[in-house]
Structure 1
Amino acid sequence: MHINITKSEVGNNKGSSSALVRYLEKENCQINHLKNEPEYWFNSQKLDIQPYEVRYSIDHNIAKLSKDEAKFFLINISPSENELLFLKEAYGDEGAKQALKEYANTIMDAYAKNFKKEHVKGNHDILYFGKLENHRYYTHRDEEVKQGLVKRGEQKPGEQMHLQIIVSRKDISDSIRLSPLNNSRGKNVAHSLKVGQFDRSAFKQAAENQFDWTFGYERELKETFEYANTLKHGSYDQKLELKEEEKRVQMLRRQQKLEIEQQQHQQRRLQLGGG
């Protein structure tokens, strides 16, 4: 599970959301050409939100924000290929889409609570709109494009379904500023009180835990946020401890596999003896 919070995929987030909304409609433009059913925007209240509703709502929820302040943020929720295959096996292709949308609404509940603001207690207190995308496309930044192996705009292979969520800088009442990119973590008390004390690591961990709990997904150690975060930001001792844990897990797996093979061998012997 990869979750990233950014300013915007296109343009910047200090003006209208129209460019971003239009960009995230790219798959629907292709679908309309093929006369297939489009992917609607959604949140915890509705599943069939039109793009103009998204743009209007985000662009009019900006009370007392200056022209140089962010008006919205973009949250990218990208399940791994293993997670997507797991969902599709459990729910089917269409069922997996619905399951991911419901999961996204739950994640936005965790997003709201992460600010630790008295009047922002759940996803009903924030203004957001989600969009499910079925594919990813190569851009000029990809090595495959730079090397001339593929063309810009071509679909990437494999399972690529993911979610993009536009969330307003202001809460649903348009009175409270909220910034998930606030880095103060309590160091600047006044700033944290103003925009909320958002812990991105805690949010990503909560999202991973929610996925595993909701869908019964048994996550490998290397798939965990803790593993990736420790390798990237951990101290030498923390990385060493993680490697030791990885060895213990591998030994346990080998032991379990050996026990299963021994049981199967014993069963075959009993069957042959009984015959």
Structure 2
Amino acid sequence: MYITVTRQHMDQTFSQSSADFVTYLEKENKGKSFDLQEHFFDQYNDRISPEQVIAEIDGNTAKLKKREPKFYSLTLNPSQRELKAINNDPTLLRRYVREAMKDYAASFYRKTPVSVDSIKYYAKIEHGRTFKGFDKKVKENQPYRAEIARLNNEIRKIHRGELQGSIKKRQKQIEKLIEQTLHKIDGVPIKQGMAKPGLQTHVHIIVSRKDVTNRFSLSPGSSYKESEAKLNGETVKRGFKRDQFFENAEKTFDKLFGYDRNFAEHYRNRKTFVRDPTTYFAQLTGLPVSERGLALKILNESGLNVPNLNIPANKVQLAVKTFHKLKRAMQVAQKSTSIEI
């Protein structure tokens, strides 16, 4: 489960309306009948119109300045393994979102605990993802695509009489380049905008910066970490315990669906991977053979191409360099699950 928290972001100031973002989240509903569409939902309602979402979010911004975000975006990104565990069932996913939002509310550091009923949020399930320009497979395919584009341009020029040469020769070169391209789906080279294969269901959640009373600010941003400050002579608790939210949201999924989470799927271990590959590697090599094998499979399926690590734990340093190379790949993978709004 990858969870991201992104603030509304538009250069130096913030849009006064959520309309553009809500419209963006409606993209999968285009051309579908009402009954086949995925609707916005909140803690208690399954069908909320985009117009109501915009009105509720835009009307809940009292005393927020132009340079302050009006809302935040959360994305809950179950892995394909997690989606298989719930049969990719949107009803179960909505149930999970509602429980996870209780974890979200409880992660605010306040004198009086925050409940989910204090949060104004609207969620939307999406079923597909497309390859982005920064995806590893797209970048590795780019030299082949550039050469194919050059040859196609030459073919067009020959047709127009602007260039002399053999069209057949260039067509054969293109066929060879397509065959040599590193990453393909059903024989078609992967490029930006192409749909990703397999289960890609995920959830976007738009959360108001203000609570339901439109009086108190509830910011989960990284700038608002758990802290205490003096206000009018009184100690005030503020901030958001992001690590607690991520870990509890994982535990909630496991408890709801009896999911057996592997070492490689734990948020705390992924965090160790990024910050301290040496420790992560030592822990991984110390796992029982079956669990380590599954962890390596999960890592490889994520696109990290981890080599076979069935070596004694006392030889950890021999392969630490591999994990340092993977660190950047992990960071890129994490970025691909979030969007700017």
TM-score (ref. length: structure 1):
0.78
Aligned to 1:167: 207
Q: Structure 2: which 5+ runs fail to align?
A: 146-188, 294-341
Q: Retained in 2: the 8 A contact 1:10–1:19?
A: no
Q: Which has the larger radius of gyration?
A: 2
Cα RMSD (Å) = 2.8
- Which string of whole-angstrom CA distances, capped at 9 and with x for unpartnered residues, describes residues 131-171 of structure 1? 00011122333344452433443311111000000000001
Aligned to 2:219: 179
Q: Retained in 2: the 8 A contact 1:10–1:20?
A: no
Cα separation, 1, equivalents of 2:25 and 2:36: 16
Q: Which secondary structure does the structure 1 equivalent of 2:30 belong to? A: helix
Aligned in 2, Cα 1:75/1:41: closer, same or farther, shift over 3 Å? same
Cα separation, 2, equivalents of 1:5 and 1:182: 9
Identity among equivalent positions (%) equals: 32
137-146 or 111-120: bigger deviation:
137-146
For these two proteins, the number of residue pairs brought into alignment is: 242
Residues 1:247 and 2:248 aligned together = no
Q: Which secondary structure does the structure 2 equivalent of 1:31 belong to? A: coil
Cα separation, 2, equivalents of 1:13 and 1:128: 19
- Which string of whole-angstrom CA distances, capped at 9 and with x for unpartnered residues, describes residues 157-204 of structure 1? 11100000000000111111111114353456359x879321211111
Q: Structure 1: which 5+ runs fail to align?
A: 255-275
**Offset of 1:121 from its aligned partner?**
2.6
Aligned in 2, Cα 1:186/1:24: closer, same or farther, shift over 3 Å? closer
Cα separation, 2, equivalents of 1:72 and 1:143: 31
Aligned in 2, Cα 1:50/1:38: closer, same or farther, shift over 3 Å? same
Cα separation, 1, equivalents of 2:236 and 2:223: 13
Q: Which secondary structure does the structure 1 equivalent of 2:76 belong to? A: strand
Give, as a single letter, the amino acid of the residue that structure 1 aligns with 2:269. Answer: Y
Q: Retained in 1: the 8 A contact 2:272–2:280?
A: yes
- Which string of whole-angstrom CA distances, capped at 9 and with x for unpartnered residues, describes residues 233-259 of structure 1? 2485x436523xx523227889xxxxx
Aligned to 2:46: 47
Cα separation, 2, equivalents of 1:63 and 1:247: 53
Cα separation, 2, equivalents of 1:151 and 1:252: 34
**Offset of 1:63 from its aligned partner?**
0.4
6-15 or 213-222: bigger deviation:
6-15
Pairing of 1:24-35 with structure 2 (within 5 A): 24-32=25-33
Aligned to 2:319: none
Cα separation, 2, equivalents of 1:252 and 1:78: 23
Q: Retained in 2: the 8 A contact 1:109–1:123?
A: yes
Q: Which secondary structure does the structure 2 equivalent of 1:189 belong to? A: strand
Q: Retained in 2: the 8 A contact 1:8–1:20?
A: no
Aligned to 1:21: 22
Aligned to 2:257: 215
Cα separation, 2, equivalents of 1:158 and 1:13: 36
Q: Which secondary structure does the structure 2 equivalent of 1:4 belong to? A: strand
Aligned in 2, Cα 1:31/1:152: closer, same or farther, shift over 3 Å? farther
Cα separation, 2, equivalents of 1:58 and 1:117: 23
Cα separation, 1, equivalents of 2:277 and 2:229: 27
Aligned to 2:109: 116
Q: Retained in 1: the 8 A contact 2:72–2:207?
A: yes
Aligned in 2, Cα 1:71/1:120: closer, same or farther, shift over 3 Å? farther
Cα separation, 2, equivalents of 1:151 and 1:133: 21
Cα separation, 1, equivalents of 2:129 and 2:136: 15
Aligned in 2, Cα 1:104/1:169: closer, same or farther, shift over 3 Å? same
